[in-house]
Every structure is written in C-alpha cells, then in structure tokens.
A and B are shown apart, each in its own frame.
Chain A
Amino acid sequence: MPTPTTAPANGNSWRQKLSRLDVLISPYLYISPFFILFAVLGLFPLIYTFWVSMHEWNLIGGQGDFIGFDNYTHVLKQEFFWRGMRNTFSIFLLSSVTQTLAALALAAVLNQNIRAKTFWRMGVLLPFVIAPVAVGVIFSKMFADQSGLINGVLGWFGVDPVAWHAGVLQSHVAIATMVNFRWTGYVTLIFLAAMQAIPSELYEAALLDGANRMRQFRSITIPMLRPTIIFVVITATIGGLQIFDEPRVFDQSGLGGSDRQWMTVTMYIYEVGWGAQKSFGRAAAVSWLLFLIIIAVGVLNFLITQRISSGDADKTPEEPANSTMAKEPVA
C-alpha cells in the first residue's frame, strides 16, 4: 500500500521542488542583471582600485610591493593635492549653485504658457549635445587673456582685461561658465518635468487665497520639487567633484595653470598616474580619497536639501489652509 502513494508523491515532489525553486530563485534571476553589471562595472573597479592603492604600482612596471597606507600618507602631504581640493570645491560651488538657481528660474519661465513652448524647451537643451571638450576648446578661445572675445567685449565698456589664465578665482569663474553652459539646460528640463507633475489644484487654491506668483513659487513649487532638487544636487555633487574635461583643455599644457590655479583633483589623479611619477598606486589612493569625499559631501547635501525643503513643506499646508478658513465666510 505505501508504494503506490509514494511513487506519485515522488514525481510530484520533484515537480513541487522545481516549482518551489522557481518561486525562490526566479525573482533573484530577474533582478540579477543590475547586480551583475554593478558588480562588474561598479564594485570590482572600486575594490581593485583600493587594492592598487595599497601597493607600489607603476604605470609601466606594474604591481610592486605591498605598502599599506603609505600612498595615502604621501599624497595627503602633497601641496598639489590640497590645491586640487581647493580648486575642485571652488569650481564645484561656482558651477552647481549658479546652475541650480538658474535652472529653477528658467524652468519656472518655461512652465508658463509661453509662445513656441517646444522650441524654447528644446533650445535650452541644445548646449548639452555639445561634447565637453569642444565646449572647453571654444570657451578657452573666448576666455583668452589678450585676444579673447570676452575681454574684448569687456573692453568696450572700459573694463580692464581679466587675467582668466593667471588668477585663481578668474579661472574658476571661466571654467564654471563652461560647465554651466552645458548643464543648465539639462537641469532645467528635469525641473520642468517635475513642475509639470505638480497638481494644478494647489496653484488654484493658492490663487484663491490671493498668493502672488512669487509666493506660489516659494510655497508650492519649491517644496513640491524637493525630491527633484535632492536628485539634482546629488548628481551635481558627483559630477562637479569629478570635473576634468573643461579645466584640462583650458590651456595647452593641461596641467591646470603655471601655479595650478585650476588643477582639479581628477587632473591631479591623471598627473600622478600618467605624468612623470607614473604611480598608479598614488593615483589610486587619490581616487579613493576623492570617492570618500564625494560620499561625505553627497550625504551632507542630502541632509541640507532635505532640511531646507521640508522646513518649507511643513509650513505651507498650514498657512494657506488657515487663510482659506478665514476667507471662506467672507466670500
């Protein structure tokens, strides 16, 4: 008696096992492409870079002795490393702050019912299509100290020529201009898309409450854009702290100026790894330091943007609500 029951049970259980396995494993298989790609293209290079940074590692000679954190201590003592940090943060702040504010303003304008909407919306994205190096080469000509277009135009208004390639702040402004030229349109479109997702009832209610455009923008648009602003700020941080192309082609030697006025950290990585030192170990150490700094600044930015926006968001629902209450009986 027990044999007939077990035989089909056996066949069943094999199928059941298979289907249980299917239930168990399939979800992981479905999501695995991302994790496999991330492991190969993200995690592995990260860990391998760390491994390289623990060694003496020459561009041509390859792996040398294991030296622990010596590369890190060496690099942290270098004046050029800290100058690269200063320049990177200065250019990053000059570009990302102006870029975000300008993009917000542009998006607010494009969000209005203007003529030839699509033309303007496509127009702001146009600079994004141009390769960064091409932007760098063209702007470097415009920012040439003696023969450049910008100093020429300034000259018409009686302004003395600006030493774009000699001064620290001047060169940072010039490079931030290139970055802004390329990225403002892209950020504008992201903001615009988010603005169009804001329900129009909110604005109608605010209009009834007598809130003017400025007030609507401050109390509805900005708080509703919070997730988008966080996204934009975080991506601007990651991109801004890795800026390379524009400062690299800002002069012909590509070292960031005679006094390293505009040498960024990524340019320093390149110089240490592929320049006269040919030290991949040190270049990897700088890369890891930059990675940690980007994470730290990213987290900091996340916390700041969250605080500022949510502070607004907490206030907004109350004030209009109160004022509606107050007005309704009158109407």
Chain B
Amino acid sequence: MDGIRWCDLPGHGQQVPNAYENADGTIIATENAEVKALYDKVLAASAKGLSANLAQWSDDWTGSFQRDGFATMVCPSWMLGVIEGNAAGVKGWDIANTFPGGGGNWGGSFLTVPTQGKNPDAAKKLADWLTAPEQQIKAFKSKGTFPSQQAALASTELTGTTNAFFNNAPTGKIFSERAQAVKVVPFKGAKYSGINDAMQQAIARVDIDKTDTAESSWEKFVSAVKALG
C-alpha cells in the first residue's frame, strides 16, 4: 500500500440536513459552522497527503484506475459499473460495508409529474407503478439500478446478489444496509447545485490545483456564493 494515496471526496455533506440552505431557501452555506468544519476536515486530510489530488471524472482520474493511482473511493451503487469499466483487467477491487458518520445518499433519479400535463392523475399512477418494489427489483435485475423502496431493500433477490468483479462481494446486502443507514434527507433548494459546484471548486483549488491555501480558497467560495444571489 506504500506510495498509494487515498481518494475520498466529501460525501459528508449528505449527512447535514441543511448544509447550504435553510428550508425557506435562504443561503446559509458561508456561515454554517458544520460546512466550514467539513471543509477544514477534508483539506486537513489532503494536507497530510491522504488525497490522490485528482479531479473526479477527469482523464487523470480515469487513467488512475489502471495505474493504482488511489486505494479507496466512495462507492454508491451506481459507481460499480464505472469502476468495473475504468479498472477493466485490474484485480483486487472490493466493497467495504462502511461509511463515516452513518449513511449518505449520492445521487439518484426522480420521476416528476408536471401539473400542466393532460392527464396528471394517470401519470402519477404510472410513476407509482414504475417505482413500486416489484418493478424496481425487475429493473435492478435487468440493469442494476438500485431500488429506493424500503420493501424492495428487503427482497431476497436483491440481498442475494453478488458481484464477481468485486471479489464476489455481497453487493445487494451491502447497499441495502447502506441505504437503511441513511437517516438524513438533505434539503436541496434552488441554488443547491450552484453552491455545491462552488464548494467543489473551493476544495479543488487547494487539493488538486494548489493555486490557493484553505483560507484564501474559502474566501473565494464566500464571494462565489454571494455572486449566485
């Protein structure tokens, strides 16, 4: 393991109910002590050399899968295919049933029914049917999309799944338990993605580009969030 550094982007933000915005949409990102503490924690780890200093999804990051560029990464259920594709031919990947601070949700899909539609009621029924546990299990078996319904998480068809590429890890059981560990549904208002982009850039300035210190980068984050108003 010597010489191989760790890659861990903050999934922690997903455990704070109101990280960037209050429930009424007012932006609190720059004054929230929890956010600042997480920011400092991630950059302190980076300063200790625990980061691989790679921008996620960049060509360097993709290439690192083949060159042992990092040792661990956060792995939501939809990441399995990404890892398997990028690390094709590399042996030794496995999944740990753990995440600091409990559970966290990194992404997912939603079905929206616009009120302007001609048949919103029928559309709601269709959305209900599509997201019912039986259909979610079918989708999981066909394409690996992980179910969101509590009832589907208990299905033996799901919990019995293993993944050969990841050392036959019981992926169904692991992700089912990780999903049940999610206790917080973070509030995401209109500016959430803009603020989150600014936060990722703030971390990248220090961790990846090294063009800023943690302090100067935080100041730029504050002004970037202000500019969103």
**A258 & B211 in contact (Cβ 8 Å cutoff):** yes
Interface-lining segment among B53-61, B105-113, B124-132: B53-61
Known: A146-B63, A147-B63, A253-B197. A166 touches B55 (CB 8 A): no
Q: Kindly list chain A residues whose C-beta atoms are within 8 Å of the C-beta of B200.
A: 253, 258
**A166 & B228 in contact (Cβ 8 Å cutoff):** no
* Contact flags A239-267 to B (C-beta < 8 A → 1, else 0): 00000000000011101011100000000
> A139-170: which residues lie under 8 A (CB-CB) from chain B?
140-141, 144-148, 163, 165-166
**A165 & B209 in contact (Cβ 8 Å cutoff):** yes
Nearest CB of A to B79, in Å: 15
Known: A144-B58, A148-B59, A253-B197. A259 touches B228 (CB 8 A): no
**B194 & A275 in contact (Cβ 8 Å cutoff):** yes
Nearest CB of B to A246, in Å: 15
- Bound-state CA distance A141–B209 (Å) is 17
Known: A144-B60, A276-B190, A276-B191. A252 touches B209 (CB 8 A): no
* Contact flags B178-200 to A (C-beta < 8 A → 1, else 0): 00000000000011111101001
Does A201 sit within 8 A of B, measured CB to CB? no
Q: Kindly list chain A residues whose C-beta atoms are within 8 Å of the C-beta of B195.
A: 276
Q: Kindly list chain B residues whose C-beta atoms are within 8 Å of the C-beta of A80.
A: 224, 227
- Bound-state CA distance A40–B210 (Å) is 49
Q: Kindly list chain A residues whose C-beta atoms are within 8 Å of the C-beta of B5.
A: none
Does A10 sit within 8 A of B, measured CB to CB? no
**A255 & B210 in contact (Cβ 8 Å cutoff):** no
Nearest CB of A to B156, in Å: 38
Nearest CB of A to B189, in Å: 10
Known: A145-B60, A146-B60. A166 touches B209 (CB 8 A): yes
Does B155 sit within 8 A of A, measured CB to CB? no
* Contact flags B76-97 to A (C-beta < 8 A → 1, else 0): 0000000000000000000000
Question: What is the predominant secondary structure among interface residues of chain B facing chain A?
Answer: helix
Q: Kindly list chain B residues whose C-beta atoms are within 8 Å of the C-beta of A255.
A: 197, 201
Q: Kindly list chain A residues whose C-beta atoms are within 8 Å of the C-beta of B58.
A: 144, 165, 251-252
* Contact flags B201-229 to A (C-beta < 8 A → 1, else 0): 11011001111100000001001100110
**B59 & A144 in contact (Cβ 8 Å cutoff):** yes
Does A78 sit within 8 A of B, measured CB to CB? yes
Known: A166-B209, A166-B211. A259 touches B59 (CB 8 A): no
Nearest CB of A to B170, in Å: 32
Does A328 sit within 8 A of B, measured CB to CB? no
**A259 & B205 in contact (Cβ 8 Å cutoff):** yes
Does A212 sit within 8 A of B, measured CB to CB? no
Nearest CB of B to A298, in Å: 30
Does A79 sit within 8 A of B, measured CB to CB? yes
Residue on B with the closest CB to A60?
B190
Does A16 sit within 8 A of B, measured CB to CB? no
Q: Kindly list chain B residues whose C-beta atoms are within 8 Å of the C-beta of A253.
A: 197, 200-201
Nearest CB of A to B174, in Å: 27
Does A277 sit within 8 A of B, measured CB to CB? yes
**A79 & B191 in contact (Cβ 8 Å cutoff):** no
Q: Which residues does B use to contact A, with CB under 8 Å?
A: 54-60, 63-64, 67, 190-195, 197, 200-202, 204-205, 208-212, 220, 223-224, 227-228
Q: Nearest 5 A-B pairs (CB), nearest first?
A: A276-B194, A166-B209, A147-B63, A258-B204, A252-B57
Known: A251-B55, A252-B56, A255-B197. 11 other contacts (CB 8 A): A80-B227, A140-B59, A141-B59, A144-B59, A146-B54, A148-B59, A165-B55, A165-B209, A258-B201, A276-B191, A278-B190
